[in-house]
C-alpha cells in the first residue's frame, strides 16, 4: 500500500480495543487489513496481523475509514468523560466523609475535574488540573505571585469539543 | 480557540511564563450552550470576537480564586494577547496598590471601556434578556461575512457590545470568587440557550462526515 509507511518504533498512545478491518486509501486502489491502534495529530496508527505497525495520514484514508477513526475517538472521549465523572463523584464523597472530621475549605472542593493530566502540555500550553497544584504553582514565589488563567470550555480540551 | 489562539507562539509564551493555566469542561452546566463536536485537529472555521460566549470563557483569577478579568466567547490570537496583557498589567497593579483590589479591578475595567469609546451611560447601563439574545445571536461577522452599507456597522456593534458586557461584568462583580461565579455563570453569558459551532468546511472530512458528528447539547438544552 503506497500511502502507508512502516513505523515499527512508534509508541501507541491508545490501547487497541478494535477488531481487524480492511483499510483503504482515498482512491480505493490500495488496501490493508489491520487493527486500529491510535490517532495523533492527523496520523492514524494501525497494526497488521504480523504485529508490524503502520502509520497513515487520516486525510489519505477513505471516507468510511475516516468515519471509523472519528467514531473510535468519540468512544474514547466518552469513556474518559465517564471515568472522570467517577473520579469526581469519588472525590466529592471523600470530601463529604472528610468534612465529618474536619472543616473543609469550600473553595477547595472538587467542582469540576479537568481531564488533562497534571502539568501536561497541550496546544503548547502547560495545564494544571488539581486545585492544589494550581495554588502551588501560582504561589511558588511568595514575592512574585502568578495569576491563573482559567479556560471554561464546552467539551474536552484533549478530545472532542 | 485551542487550534488557533492557544497555538499562537506569542500566546503560548506569555501564558506559560506569566500565568498558571487550568481548564474545566462545562458540558452539562446549565449555562453552557451547544456546538458541533470538533476533533482536536479539525480545521477551524471563521469566528468573530466573542462568538459562542456560552461555549468558551477565558477567565483570570488570583491565587485565592478571585476573578479579576474575563473575556467570553472566541478570541483571535491578537484579541487573546490583548486580554492576557491587560490581565497581566492589572494583576501587577493589584499587587502594587495598597487600596482594596475590588476598587482597582472595577476602576481598571471602567477606564478601559472609556478608552474604547464607550460612554459613561453605556458603561453604567444594566443588562437585560433582550441584550443577551442580541449578543448570543448570529452575527455574520462571526463567520467572516461583511455586509455592505449600514449592515457592517450594525453587526460590528454586536462584537463591541460583547466586549462591553464582559468588562461591565467585572465592574459589577470585582473579585467574585470562582465558586460564586459557578453558582450563576449566566450573569456573564446570559440565560438564552445558544448554538454556536464553527463549521470545519476546510477540514479533511467531508460535509457528510461532519454532519454525522454528534451535536453536543447541554443537559438543559436537550
Q: What is the pLDDT of residues B38-51, one digit of tens each?
A: 666 666 666 777 77
* Residue with the three cell numbers 508490524: A52
DSSP 8-state assignment for residue B137: S
Q: Which residue, A19, A21, A28, A20, is CA-closest to A1? A: A28
Contacts of A67 in chain B (CB under 8 A): 209, 212
Could you tell me if A157 lies within 8 Å of chain B, comparing CB atoms? yes
Rg (C-alpha) for chain B, rounded Å, is 18
The predicted pLDDT at position A105 comes to 42
Could you tell me if B182 lies within 8 Å of chain A, comparing CB atoms? yes
The mean pLDDT of chain A is 71
User: Residues near B124 by Cβ (< 8 Å), separated by ≥ 6?
Assistant: none
**C-beta of residue A148 within 8 angstroms of C-beta of residue B84:** no
- pLDDT tens by residue, B116-160: 999 999 898 877 666 666 666 666 666 555 555 545 555 566 778
Could you tell me if B88 lies within 8 Å of chain A, comparing CB atoms? yes
Whole-model pTM over 0.80: no
Query: Region A10-36: what's the mean pLDDT?
Result: 75
Work out the number of other CB atoms within 10 angstroms of the CB of residue B205. 21
The predicted pLDDT at position B222 comes to 33
SS3 B116: helix
- pLDDT tens by residue, A42-77: 788 999 989 899 999 888 899 889 888 877 776 776
Shortest CA distance from B195: residue in chain A: A154
Q: How far apart are CA B33 and CA B193, in angstroms?
A: 6
Q: How far apart are CA B67 and CA B87, in angstroms?
A: 10
Could you tell me if B157 lies within 8 Å of chain A, comparing CB atoms? no
Write the ipTM. 0.78
SS3 B26: coil
Q: Do B55 and A154 touch (CB under 8 A)?
A: yes
CA distance A23 to chain B (A): 16
Query: Region B211-220: what's the mean pLDDT?
Result: 35
Q: Is A160 exposed, middle or buried (0-12, 13-18, 19+ CB in 10 A)?
A: buried
User: Residues near A52 by Cβ (< 8 Å), separated by ≥ 6?
Assistant: A6, A8
- pLDDT tens by residue, A99-119: 444 343 444 433 333 445 566
Q: How far apart are CA B146 and CA B28, in angstroms?
A: 34
Provide φ and ψ at A41, rounded to 5°.
Answer: 50, 50
Q: Which residues 46-65 of chain A have a CB within 8 Å of chain B?
A: 58-59, 63
Lowest model confidence (mean pLDDT) among B32-36, B54-58, B139-143, B148-152: B148-152
Q: Do A81 and B18 touch (CB under 8 A)?
A: no
> β-pairing, A21-24 with B35-36?
unpaired
* Residue with the three cell numbers 461591565: B168
Q: Which residue, A161, A152, A26, is CA-closest to B22? A: A152
Q: Which residues 1-40 of chain B have a CB within 8 Å of chain A?
A: 1-3, 6-7, 9, 12, 15-16, 18-27, 32-35, 37-40
- pLDDT tens by residue, B68-122: 999 998 888 999 999 999 999 999 999 887 677 899 999 999 999 999 999 999 8
Shortest CA distance from B75: residue in chain A: A151
- Half-sphere exposure in the Cβ direction for A61 (13 Å, CA): 24
The predicted pLDDT at position A24 comes to 92
**Alpha carbon separation from B167 to B70, B112, B128, B178 (Å, rounded):** 7, 8, 16, 17
**C-beta of residue B48 within 8 angstroms of C-beta of residue B141:** yes
pLDDT confidence bin for A82, thresholds 50/70/90 = low
Q: How far apart are CA B9 and CA B79, in angstroms?
A: 14
Contacts of B19 in chain A (CB under 8 A): 146-149
Could you tell me if A105 lies within 8 Å of chain B, comparing CB atoms? no
Q: How far apart are CA A56 and CA A76, in angstroms?
A: 20
DSSP result, chain A: -TT-EE-TTPPPSS---SPPEEEEBTTSS-EEEEEEEEEETTEEEEEETTS-EEEEEGGGB-HHHHHHHHHHHHHHHHHHHHHHHHHHHHHHHHHHHHHTTSPPPGGGS------SPTTEEETTEEE--SHHHHHHHHTSSTTS---EEEEEESS-TTS--
DSSP result, B156-219: HHHHHHHHHHHHHHHHHSTT-BHHHHHH-THHHH-SS--B-----TTSSS-HHHHHTSPEE--T
Lowest model confidence (mean pLDDT) among A17-26, A47-56, A83-92, B34-43: A83-92
Could you tell me if A42 lies within 8 Å of chain B, comparing CB atoms? yes
Q: How far apart are CA B181 and CA B188, in angstroms?
A: 9
- Half-sphere exposure in the Cβ direction for A135 (13 Å, CA): 8
- pLDDT tens by residue, A132-146: 888 888 988 877 899
Amino acid at each position: 500500500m503506497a500511502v502507508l509507511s512502516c513505523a515499527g518504533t512508534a509508541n501507541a498512545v491508545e490501547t487497541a480495543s478494535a477488531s481487524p478491518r480492511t483499510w483503504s486509501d482515498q482512491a480505493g486502489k490500495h488496501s490493508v487489513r489491520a487493527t486500529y491502534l491510535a490517532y495523533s495529530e492527523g496520523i492514524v496508527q494501525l497494526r497488521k496481523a504480523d504485529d508490524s505497525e503502520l502509520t497513515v495520514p487520516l486525510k489519505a484514508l477513505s471516507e468510511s475509514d475516516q468515519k471509523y477513526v472519528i467514531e473510535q475517538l468519540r468512544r474514547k472521549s466518552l469513556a474518559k468523560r465517564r471515568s472522570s465523572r467517577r473520579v469526581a463523584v469519588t472525590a466529592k464523597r471523600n470530601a463529604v466523609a472528610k468534612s465529618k472530621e474536619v472543616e473543609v475549605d469550600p473553595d477547595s472542593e472538587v467542582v469540576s475535574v479537568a481531564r488533562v493530566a497534571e502539568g501536561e502540555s497541550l496546544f503548547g500550553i502547560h495545564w494544571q488540573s488539581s486545585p492544589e497544584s494550581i495554588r502551588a504553582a501560582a504561589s511558588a514565589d511568595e514575592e512574585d505571585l502568578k495569576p491563573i488563567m482559567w479556560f471554561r470550555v464546552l467539551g474536552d480540551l484533549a478530545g472532542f469539543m | 480557540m485551542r487550534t488557533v489562539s492557544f497555538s499562537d507562539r506569542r500566546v503560548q509564551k506569555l501564558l506559560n511564563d506569566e500565568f498558571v493555566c487550568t481548564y474545566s469542561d462545562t458540558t452539562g452546566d446549565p449555562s453552557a450552550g451547544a456546538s458541533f463536536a470538533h476533533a482536536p485537529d479539525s480545521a477551524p472555521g471563521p469566528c468573530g470576537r466573542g462568538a459562542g460566549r456560552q461555549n468558551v470563557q477565558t477567565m483570570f483569577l488570583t491565587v485565592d480564586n478571585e476573578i479579576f478579568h474575563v473575556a467570553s466567547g472566541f478570541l483571535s490570537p491578537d484579541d487573546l494577547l490583548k486580554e492576557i496583557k491587560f490581565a497581566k498589567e492589572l494583576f501587577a497593579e493589584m499587587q502594587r496598590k495598597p487600596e482594596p483590589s475590588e476598587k482597582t479591578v472595577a476602576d481598571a475595567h471602567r477606564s478601559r471601556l472609556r478608552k474604547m469609546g464607550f460612554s459613561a451611560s453605556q458603561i453604567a447601563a444594566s443588562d437585560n434578556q433582550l441584550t443577551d439574545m442580541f449578543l448570543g445571536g448570529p452575527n455574520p461577522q462571526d463567520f467572516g461575512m461583511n455586509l455592505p452599507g449600514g449592515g457592517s456597522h450594525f453587526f460590528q456593534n454586536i462584537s463591541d457590545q460583547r466586549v462591553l458586557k464582559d468588562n461591565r461584568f467585572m465592574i459589577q462583580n470585582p473579585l467574585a470568587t470562582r465558586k460564586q461565579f459557578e453558582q450563576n455563570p449566566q450573569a456573564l453569558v446570559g440565560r438564552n440557550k445558544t448554538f454556536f459551532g464553527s463549521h470545519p468546511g476546510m477540514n479533511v472530512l467531508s460535509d457528510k462526515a461532519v454532519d454525522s458528528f454528534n451535536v453536543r447539547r447541554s443537559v438543559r438544552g436537550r
